[in-house]
Amino acid sequence: MTSSPPAPPELLRITDATAFGPAIRARRREQSLRIDDAASLSGVSVDLLSRLENGKGSVRLDKLMAVLDSLGLALVLGPKDHPGMPSVARPGVERPEQP
């Protein structure tokens, strides 16, 4: 009996700064990391990581990038009409057919 490989994780479209938090917290928990351990691995304070996970206050971009990198996440930027972007379209938004 063969088992199928796990499905790849879904991509997340970030529409505002508060959307980072749940994704970062979920990824940290998937890796069974306590917040203090994840903060240490990222080179940021526990307070900063907590604020980021809870969508409170602002976080410098270099600190966000350090957290994402340490958790094995990436920030991808591209035009909304790029062929790969429909996979991260906002829920409930119909995309026009590409010719």
- pTM to 2 decimals? 0.76
Which domain CATH number covers 30? Answer: 1.10.260.40
23 three-state secondary structure? helix
Q: What is the DSSP letter of 81?
A: T
pLDDT tens digits in sequence order for the chain, 99 residues long: 566 666 656 778 787 888 899 999 999 999 999 999 999 999 999 999 999 999 987 889 999 999 999 999 998 888 888 787 766 655 544 444 444
Q: Is position 57 within any domain?
A: yes
User: In the Cβ-directed half-sphere of 97, how many Cα atoms lie within 13 Å?
Assistant: 1
pLDDT score, position 96? 43
Whether 5 contacts 28, CB under 8 Å: no
Full residue range of the structural domain in which residue 71 is found: 17-76
pLDDT score, position 17? 83
Closest-CA residue to 68 (of 28, 8, 30):
28
Q: Is position 71 within any domain?
A: yes
Q: Is position 89 within any domain?
A: no
Q: Is position 98 within any domain?
A: no
- Number of folded domains that form the chain: 1
Q: Is position 2 within any domain?
A: no
